[in-house]
């Protein structure tokens, strides 16, 4: 294996120039839109490079998944079918939604089961994503290629003169790297030797000679990308993770950390017939930023470390009809949260710990002095609280910190106001490593509105999947003290199912009309869950048309008491 790698490196060096000259046309994920989305996760194969196919994890296709278009204000229903041999989860990164729909480590989808979360989209227009989040398995499942983009549209963004033709002048660009072994299989390691842009090696794309919009997602396991162009041209950042910035921010370099998204405008007007490369200038990254280290051996050594490399070769061609040819001067007017309204400042601390047991090295990183435990809750956040989270890092390494449920505003990074490109809505913030003996301190402010749930927590964690899997994660629940349980409504009165037998839709009637379903599992006779319905909208009935005929059980959890009652039905 080592020998093969060395041989491969020699061959690559000898034939390097020829190989680099062969670009592959960048794959563009399919799109799904509307309010009902069917996603089937499965083990599959993809032709990543000549030779053996690569075993991958795909959603509806061979690799990665479709881009989902959501409209702000609409309620979206997702049917997520897990056809992997493993359990997994699908987390809607950046979406504001009930914890029980969030797809974190507590919303496990067993193999063979369909999970049906739904929520009203309240997020601003921007680029979000979905990805697996099963505890200790996130790195492995993301490495397979499971994930996808979410593009939210809203009225403000739609009214702006911005490129909006998907795959033409509005182009998704998902950044990852993989270690591909000599039999063309992905190796589950924090850093790969090969850049994959939309799962394409040495990607190229033809773009029109006008303003183009690139939606950049850092979907890497660990690596940060110091984005720039080969001709050092200026590009314009128009979104932070969770929405438009007030105005485009003109830059020539920008570091995108794991989990983060930016949308950029690039003006190619008048440049038909020319070429330019989108690159990672990672030789300029500090030693304690992921991808800026210079490991020569050991499990973190990789061909891209502290190097500059191509992300996407752009061939600029003819203009389209009705092109956008100028960069707008303003975008929106964000109303950010005010520290004066904060009810509490929560102080979190990140440390390098001496706890050993890491898969790839002796150092584990911990938040609040403990590794993640599924049953340990760090915080109870009262519903509607506005809070400042102050994160002090004593780690030498930089960590992209992500929180579920909310988009936040950065207050300060080591005492300084956020840079312009981060002065909007964010859900990942880079916590720099300490400098000398001085800890890094980052503060953000967020409002925890709409969704309380005493049972299902939201996560906060480092978005480097290796660190997350190794325990650099904590959790909080949002609780609503105003709705005390003043009357325990006993479910023992039960509910009835009709029609029974049923073949299409099954309806539930509670004997006590105050009962509400918090969760329904449909379980077959051998105890396997086949359908998972968080907070089901029972007036529509339960769609059982996809089940094969036989006997099933409905396990219904009551909203208030969390009591579980089981009833049998027959699928015709």
Residues binding Cu ion (CB under 5 A): 93, 399, 404, 462, 464, 467
Interacting span for ligand C2O (CB under 6 A) from 49-57, 285-293, 388-396, 459-467? 459-467
Compare residues 195 and 462 and give the one whose CB is closer to ligand C2O. 462
If contact means CB under 5 to 8 A according to the sort of partner, which of Cu ion, ligand C2O, none does residue 462 touch?
Cu ion
- Phi, psi dihedrals of residue 6, rounded to the nearest 5°: -65, -45
Q: How far is the CB of 400 from Cu ion (least distance, A)?
A: 7
Q: Which helix (H) or strand (E) holds 14?
A: helix 2-14
CB contact set of 466 (below 8 Å; sequence gap of 6+): 139, 190, 221, 222, 359, 360
Q: Which is nearer to ligand C2O, 70 or 281 (CB)?
A: 70
Which is closer to Cu ion, CB of 404 or CB of 443? 404
Q: 174, 64 in Cβ contact below 8 A? A: yes
Q: Is 259 in the site for ligand C2O (CB under 6 A)?
A: yes
Give the separation between CA 163 and CA 208, rounded to whole angstroms: 11
Q: Is 530 left (phi over 0), alpha (psi -120 to 50) or beta?
A: alpha
| Binding residue for ligand C2O, selected from 133, 141, 202, 456, defined by CB under 6 A | 133
The binder of 464, among ligand C2O, Cu ion, none, by C-beta within 5 to 8 A per type, is Cu ion
Which position's Cβ is nearest Cu ion? 462
Ranges within 461-520 binding ligand C2O (CB under 6 A): 461, 463
CB-CB contact of 547 with 522 (8 Å): yes
Q: Answer yes or no whether residue 402 interacts with ligand C2O by CB under 6 A.
A: yes
Element (H, E) at 466: helix 465-469
C-beta separation of 311 from 278 below 8 A:
yes
Backbone angles phi, psi at 32, to 5 degrees: -130, 135
CA 291 to chain centre: 20
User: Shortest gap between Cβ of 540 and ligand C2O (angstroms)?
Assistant: 30
- 205 vs 460, beta carbon nearer ligand C2O: 460
| C-beta closer to ligand C2O: residue 153 or 461 | 461
Tell me if 96 contacts ligand C2O by CB under 6 A: no
Residue 80 burial (C-beta neighbours within 10 Å; 0-12, 13-18, 19+): buried
Q: Considering the complex, what minimum distance in angstroms separates the CB of residue 404 from ligand C2O?
A: 6
Nearer to ligand C2O, 202 or 461 (CB): 461
- Three-state SS for 448? strand
Which of 131, 213, 456, 467 is close enough to bind ligand C2O by CB under 6 A?
131
Question: What string of H, E and C letters represents the secondary structure of 433-465?
Answer: CCECCECEEEEEEEEECCCCCCCCCEEEEECCH
- Choices 245-253, 322-330, 455-463, 553-561 (CB under 6 A): range interacting with ligand C2O: 455-463
As a three-state string, the secondary structure of 163-194 is: CCCECCCEEEEEEEEEEECCCCCEECCCCCCE
The Cα-based distances of 506 to 37, 76, 537 in angstroms read 21, 21, 12
The least distance separating Cu ion from the CB of residue 262, rounded to whole angstroms, comes to 17
Q: Given the structure tokens 């099933």, which residue do they identify? A: 552
| Binding of ligand C2O by 93 (CB under 6 A) | yes
**Phi and psi dihedrals of 237, rounded to 5?**
-80, 125
Asked if 232 and 252 touch (Cβ cutoff 8 Å), the reply is: yes
The secondary structure of 106-134 as a DSSP string is TS-B-TT-EE--EEE--SPSEEEEEE---
Considering Cα of 465, then 467, then 469, then 471, what sign does the dihedral take? negative
C-beta closer to Cu ion: residue 169 or 387: 387
Instruction: Report the nearest approach of ligand C2O to the CB of residue 78 (Å).
Output: 16
Give the interface segment with ligand C2O, choosing from 6-14, 171-179, 457-465, 550-558 (CB under 6 A): 457-465
Q: How far is the CB of 402 from Cu ion (least distance, A)?
A: 5
Q: Of the candidates 195, 459, 533, 556, which one interacts with ligand C2O according to CB under 6 A?
A: 459
Residue closer to ligand C2O (CB basis): 96 or 402: 402
Query: Among ligand C2O, Cu ion, none, what binds residue 131 when CB lies within 5 to 8 Å by partner kind?
Result: ligand C2O
- Residue number, 41 or 538, with CB nearest to ligand C2O: 41
Question: Minimal CB distance to ligand C2O: which residue?
Answer: 93
Query: For residues 173 and 459, which CB has a smaller minimum distance to ligand C2O in the complex?
Result: 459
The Cα 320–Cα 359 span in angstroms is 50
- Taking the complex as a whole, how short is the minimal distance between the CB of residue 365 and Cu ion, in angstroms? 5
The interface partner of residue 426, options being Cu ion, ligand C2O, none and the CB cut-off 5 to 8 Å by kind, is none
* Residue 133 interacting partner from Cu ion, ligand C2O, none (CB closer than 5 to 8 Å by kind): ligand C2O
Q: Smallest distance from the beta carbon of 131 to ligand C2O, in angstroms?
A: 6
Peptide bond before 501: cis, by omega within 30 degrees of 0?
A: yes
| Interface with ligand C2O (CB under 6 A), residue from 62, 81, 91, 313 | 91
- Token couple for 368: 């609040």
Integer Cα distance of 561 and 546 in angstroms: 30
Q: CB-wise, 215 or 461, nearer to ligand C2O?
A: 461
Phi, psi of 414 (to 5 degrees): 50, 45
Residue 404 binding ligand C2O, by CB under 6 A: yes
The entry of ligand C2O, Cu ion, none near residue 467 (CB within 5 to 8 angstroms by kind) is Cu ion
* 58 binds ligand C2O per the rule CB under 6 A: no
Which two structure tokens, joined as six digits, stand for 310?
């191509």
Cα separation, 478 vs 412, whole angstroms: 25
CB of 233 to Cu ion, least distance (A): 32
The residues that touch ligand C2O, with contacts defined as CB under 6 A, are 91, 93, 131, 133, 259, 402, 404, 459, 461, 463
């Amino acid at each position: 294996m080592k020998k093969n790698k060395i041989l491969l490196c020699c061959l690559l060096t000898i034939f390097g120039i020829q190989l680099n000259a062969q670009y592959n046309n960048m794959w563009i994920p399919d799109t799904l839109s509307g309010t009902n989305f069917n996603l089937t996760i499965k083990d599959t194969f993809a032709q990543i490079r000549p030779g053996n196919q690569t075993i991958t994890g795909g959603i509806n296709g061979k690799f990665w998944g479709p881009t989902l278009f959501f409209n702000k204000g609409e309620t979206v229903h997702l049917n997520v079918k897990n056809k992997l041999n493993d359990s997994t989860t699908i987390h809607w990164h950046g979406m504001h939604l009930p914890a029980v729909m969030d797809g974190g480590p507590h919303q496990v989808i067993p193999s063979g089961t369909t999970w049906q979360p739904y929520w009203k989209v309240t997020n601003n227009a921007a680029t979000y994503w979905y990805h697996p989040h099963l505890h200790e398995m996130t790195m492995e499942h993301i490495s397979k290629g499971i994930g996808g983009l979410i593009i939210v549209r809203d009225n403000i963004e739609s009214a702006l003169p911005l490129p909006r033709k998907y795959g033409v002048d509005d182009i998704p660009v998902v950044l990852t790297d993989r270690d591909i072994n000599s039999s063309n299989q992905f190796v589950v390691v924090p850093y790969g030797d090969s850049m994959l842009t939309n799962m394409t090696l040495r990607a190229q794309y033809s773009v029109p000679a006008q303003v183009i919009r690139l939606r950049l997602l850092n979907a890497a396991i660990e690596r940060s990308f110091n984005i720039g162009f080969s001709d050092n041209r200026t590009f314009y950042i128009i979104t932070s993770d969770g929405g438009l910035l007030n105005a485009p921010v003109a830059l020539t370099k920008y570091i995108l950390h794991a989990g983060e998204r930016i949308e950029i405008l690039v003006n190619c007007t008048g440049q038909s017939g020319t070429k330019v490369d989108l690159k990672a200038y990672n030789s300029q990254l500090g030693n304690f930023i992921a991808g800026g280290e210079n490991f020569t051996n050991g499990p973190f050594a990789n061909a891209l470390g502290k190097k500059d490399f191509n992300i996407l070769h752009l061939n600029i061609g003819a203009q389209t009809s009705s092109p956008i040819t100028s960069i707008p001067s303003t975008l929106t007017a964000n109303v950010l949260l005010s520290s004066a309204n904060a009810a509490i400042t929560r102080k979190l601390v990140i440390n390098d710990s001496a706890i050993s047991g890491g898969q790839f090295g002796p150092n584990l990183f911990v938040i609040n002095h403990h590794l993640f435990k599924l049953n340990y809750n760090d915080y109870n956040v009262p519903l509607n609280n506005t809070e400042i989270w102050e994160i002090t890092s004593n780690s030498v390494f930089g960590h992209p910190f992500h929180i579920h449920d909310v988009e936040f505003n950065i207050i300060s990074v080591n005492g300084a106001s956020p840079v312009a490109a981060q002065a909007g809505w964010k859900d990942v913030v880079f916590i720099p490593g300490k400098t000398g003996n001085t800890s890094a301190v980052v503060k953000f402010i967020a409002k925890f509105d709409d969704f309380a749930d005493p049972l299902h927590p939201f996560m906060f964690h480092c978005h480097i999947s290796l660190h997350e899997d190794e325990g650099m994660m904590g959790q909080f629940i949002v609780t609503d003290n105003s709705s005390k349980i003043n009357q325990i409504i006993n479910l023992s009165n039960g509910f009835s199912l009709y029609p029974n037998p049923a073949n299409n839709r099954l309806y539930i009637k509670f004997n006590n009309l105050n009962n509400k379903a918090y969760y329904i599992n449909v379980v077959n006779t051998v105890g396997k869950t086949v359908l998972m319905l968080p907070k089901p909208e029972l007036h529509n009935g339960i769609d059982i048309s996809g089940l094969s005929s036989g006997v099933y059980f409905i396990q219904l959890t009551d909203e208030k008491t969390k009591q579980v009652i089981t009833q049998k039905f027959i699928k015709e």
